[in-house]
């Protein structure tokens, strides 16, 4: 009996926030120029998860009793309020492109892909539920906070080990990893929510959100591609390419890391940015900012990735003239050249010191990184092309770029801010893993792959939504019917 109740509570813990998020997104996107049911499903899952973590923070700050029942009641009341507020709103009016139905052959292929995904995720479910938490980062950095909060019924404070040794407070805790105590709390709060649902801090069912996260992100990718006019078959192949990618599956099989959530937040902000560019609607601007906030609360690198997205969003809204953009880029380059040459250091109130010179860089809250040039070419190529983490994705990229240049797509393809943001993020990772001590993390083939995961959904979105879509519509390509 207790086992059946646990299963029911876990199902409710997963589906009720998802339903709330999907309902909110469905109503938010009413009459939007960019809408599709899969967008509401995909965005809704992560919006529901984020909302649960906000409720846990709110209950703790107000010293309210925290339990699975109390949080579930709060979620239900919020859902009822949303239904009541939006009860008179119009139904979603899908775009013409998203109403295109697949042909018979496309249906057969899509059915086959869905069957393959079902088999794959069934095996992942069995692996996830029959093995205790295994991933090192999970039990070292992310789960311990939740275990303590679950046992105490409140969010106890965590501080770095040196500070913990000096404190006299009995309810202050620390972690073995010196930096982990200062990591954002969203992922531990997700653990806590699932522990409340299972009634245990040791159940493997706590990790089920890591099974659903790639699927929800795949739905969001599919929905945005369909709204952009990509046919169902190509959008379905993009969905399959993402959810069946080996390294994405690793983050389900070895559940507990924060990286799949970071990848989702960054990718959803990119999708929202693209929708904002095509529709010009305020709702997508707000949703883009929302996902940037979500990213910041997941991992510390979310600050940088969110900054890139917000830059692209500002550029999309303000549409500055090219001369102004070139002037700003020139000033930024000049600043960094001078800082690198002669050195610069200044204090930011309430934040800390920023310092940059030829020896290294210090960023407030992130610490100091010395500049160390490392030849990463061999390991980089092995990661992108020699391993099985990304299937054949990086083999395909050069072919697409060659097709761009050789067939004149450069004239018809419109550069979007999504591509600019992805380029900035790629350059950022290249600099970090080439010129700082993080190069060691690339050489041991660990952290770099996790960082690269953040870019993959956005890369697939550009590949299928821009390249293939523009490719098929370019009248200069061989084999196209010309008017």
> What's the chain's length in residues?
483
**Would you state the pLDDT for residue 409?**
46
Number of Cβ atoms within 10 Å of the Cβ of 184: 17
Examine residue 339 and state whether it is found in any structural domain, yes or no: yes
Examine residue 376 and state whether it is found in any structural domain, yes or no: yes
- Measured between alpha carbons, how far is 131 from 44 in angstroms, rounded to an integer? 29
Together in a domain, 77 and 222: yes
Q: What 8-state DSSP symbol labels residue 298?
A: T
Extract the tokens encoding 4: 């059946």
Together in a domain, 253 and 376: no
Examine residue 308 and state whether it is found in any structural domain, yes or no: no
Using alpha carbons, list the distances in angstroms from residue 37 to 309, 398, 472.
Answer: 24, 33, 25
Together in a domain, 222 and 334: no
- Measured between alpha carbons, how far is 151 from 171 in angstroms, rounded to an integer? 12
Q: Are 194 and 10 in contact (CB under 8 A)?
A: yes
**Would you state the pLDDT for residue 402?**
61
Inter-helix orientation angle 282-296/37-61, to 10°: 50
Together in a domain, 246 and 321: no
Together in a domain, 226 and 324: no
Extract the tokens encoding 217: 């992100």
Residue finishing a domain among 207, 227, 257: 257
Q: Are 422 and 455 in contact (CB under 8 A)?
A: yes
Extract the tokens encoding 242: 């993402």
Number of Cβ atoms within 10 Å of the Cβ of 122: 10
Together in a domain, 246 and 382: no
Extract the tokens encoding 122: 């069934």
Number of Cβ atoms within 10 Å of the Cβ of 130: 8
Q: Are 364 and 352 in contact (CB under 8 A)?
A: yes
Extract the tokens encoding 203: 């159940």
* Maximum C-alpha span of the chain: 80
Q: Are 34 and 284 in contact (CB under 8 A)?
A: yes
Q: What 8-state DSSP symbol labels residue 358?
A: S
Domain count, the chain: 2
- Measured between alpha carbons, how far is 454 from 480 in angstroms, rounded to an integer? 35
- Measured between alpha carbons, how far is 205 from 81 in angstroms, rounded to an integer? 30
Residue-wise pLDDT tens for the chain (483 aa)?
457 778 899 999 999 999 999 988 888 887 777 778 899 999 999 999 999 999 999 999 999 999 999 999 999 898 888 777 766 555 555 554 556 677 788 899 999 999 999 999 999 999 998 888 888 888 889 999 999 999 999 999 998 888 888 887 777 899 888 788 889 999 999 999 999 999 999 899 999 999 999 999 999 999 999 988 888 999 999 999 999 999 999 999 989 999 999 999 999 999 999 999 888 889 999 999 999 999 999 999 999 999 999 999 999 998 888 888 889 889 988 888 888 888 888 888 877 888 888 888 888 878 888 888 888 888 888 888 888 888 888 887 776 666 555 444 444 444 578 888 998 999 999 999 999 888 888 888 878 999 999 999 999 998 888 766 655 554 443 333 323
Together in a domain, 241 and 335: no
Q: What 8-state DSSP symbol labels residue 131?
A: S
Together in a domain, 232 and 342: no
Closest CA to 47 of 242, 186, 244, 224: 186
- What one-character-per-residue DSSP string does 417-461 give? HHHHHHHHHHHHHHHHHHHSTTHHHHHTTSHHHHHHHTTHHHHHH
- Domain of 35 in residue numbering reads as 2-89+119-257
Residue spans of alpha helices (H) in 228-360: 232-243, 246-253, 259-279, 282-296, 302-318, 322-342
Examine residue 481 and state whether it is found in any structural domain, yes or no: no
- Measured between alpha carbons, how far is 66 from 37 in angstroms, rounded to an integer? 33
Residue finishing a domain among 257, 273, 298: 257
Examine residue 106 and state whether it is found in any structural domain, yes or no: no
Together in a domain, 184 and 252: yes
Q: Determine whether 483 is exposed, middle or buried from the number of CB atoms within 10 Å of its CB (0-12, 13-18, 19+).
A: exposed
Q: Which residue has the tokens 């018979």?
A: 104
Number of Cβ atoms within 10 Å of the Cβ of 332: 10
Q: Are 147 and 201 in contact (CB under 8 A)?
A: yes
Q: What does pTM read for this prediction?
A: 0.91
Together in a domain, 215 and 348: no
**Would you state the pLDDT for residue 96?**
47
The pairing of beta strand 367-370 with beta strand 360-363: antiparallel
Give the torsion through C-alpha atoms of 253, 255, 259, 262, to 10 deg: 110
Examine residue 110 and state whether it is found in any structural domain, yes or no: no
The HSE-up count of residue 339 (CA atoms within 13 Å, CB side) is: 15
Residues forming beta bridges with residue 157, ordered by sequence position: 172
Together in a domain, 347 and 438: yes
Q: How far apart are the first and last CA of the chain?
A: 69
Residue spans of alpha helices (H) in 86-208: 104-129, 136-137, 143-152, 161-166, 186-198
Examine residue 202 and state whether it is found in any structural domain, yes or no: yes
Q: Determine whether 159 is exposed, middle or buried from the number of CB atoms within 10 Å of its CB (0-12, 13-18, 19+).
A: middle
The pairing of beta strand 172-173 with beta strand 157-158: parallel
Examine residue 111 and state whether it is found in any structural domain, yes or no: no
């Amino acid at each position: 009996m207790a086992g059946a109740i646990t299963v029911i509570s876990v199902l409710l813990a997963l589906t009720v926030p998802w339903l709330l998020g999907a309902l909110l997104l469905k109503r938010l996107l009413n009459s939007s120029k960019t809408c599709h049911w899969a967008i509401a499903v995909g965005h809704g899952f992560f919006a529901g998860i984020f909302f649960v973590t906000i409720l846990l923070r709110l209950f703790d700050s107000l010293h309210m009793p925290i339990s699975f029942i109390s949080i579930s009641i709060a979620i239900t009341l919020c859902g009822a309020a949303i239904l009541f507020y939006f009860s008179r709103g119009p139904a979603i009016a899908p775009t013409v492109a998203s109403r295109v139905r697949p042909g018979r052959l496309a249906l057969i292929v899509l059915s086959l892909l869905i069957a393959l995904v079902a088999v794959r995720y069934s095996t992942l479910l069995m692996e996830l539920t029959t093995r205790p938490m295994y991933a090192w980062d999970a039990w070292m950095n992310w789960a311990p906070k939740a275990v303590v909060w679950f046992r105490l019924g409140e969010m106890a404070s965590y501080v770095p080990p040196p500070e913990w040794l000096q404190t006299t407070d009995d309810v202050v805790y620390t972690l073995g990893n010196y930096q982990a105590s200062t990591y954002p709390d969203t992922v531990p709060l997700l653990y806590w929510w699932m522990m409340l649902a299972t009634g245990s801090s040791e159940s493997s069912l706590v990790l089920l959100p890591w099974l659903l996260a790639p699927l929800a992100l795949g739905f969001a990718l599919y929905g945005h591609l369909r709204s952009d006019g990509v046919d169902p078959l190509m959008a379905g192949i993009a969905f399959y390419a993402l959810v069946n990618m080996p390294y994405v599956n690793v983050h389900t099989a070895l559940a507990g890391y924060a990286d799949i959530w970071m990848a989702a937040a960054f990718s959803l902000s990119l999708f929202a940015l693209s929708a904002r560019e095509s529709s010009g609607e305020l709702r997508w601007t707000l949703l883009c900012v929302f996902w940037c906030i979500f990213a910041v609360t997941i991992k510390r690198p979310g600050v940088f990735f969110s900054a890139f997205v917000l830059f692209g969003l500002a550029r999309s809204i303000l549409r500055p003239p090219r001369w102004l953009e070139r002037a700003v880029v020139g000033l930024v380059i000049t600043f960094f050249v001078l800082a690198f040459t002669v050195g610069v250091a200044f204090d930011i109130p309430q934040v800390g010191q920023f310092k940059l010179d030829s020896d290294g860089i210090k960023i407030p809250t992130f610490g100091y990184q010395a500049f160390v040039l490392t030849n990463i070419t061999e390991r980089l190529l092995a990661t992108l092309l020699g391993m099985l983490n990304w299937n054949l994705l990086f083999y395909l990229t050069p072919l697409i770029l060659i097709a761009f240049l050789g067939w004149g797509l450069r004239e018809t393809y419109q550069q979007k801010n999504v591509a600019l943001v992805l380029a900035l993020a790629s350059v950022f990772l290249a600099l970090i893993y080439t010129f700082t001590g993080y190069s060691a993390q690339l050489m041991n083939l660990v952290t770099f792959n996790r960082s690269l995961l953040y870019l993959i959904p956005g890369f697939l979105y550009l590949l299928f939504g821009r390249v293939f879509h523009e490719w098929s519509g370019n009248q200069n390509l061989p084999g196209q019917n010309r008017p």
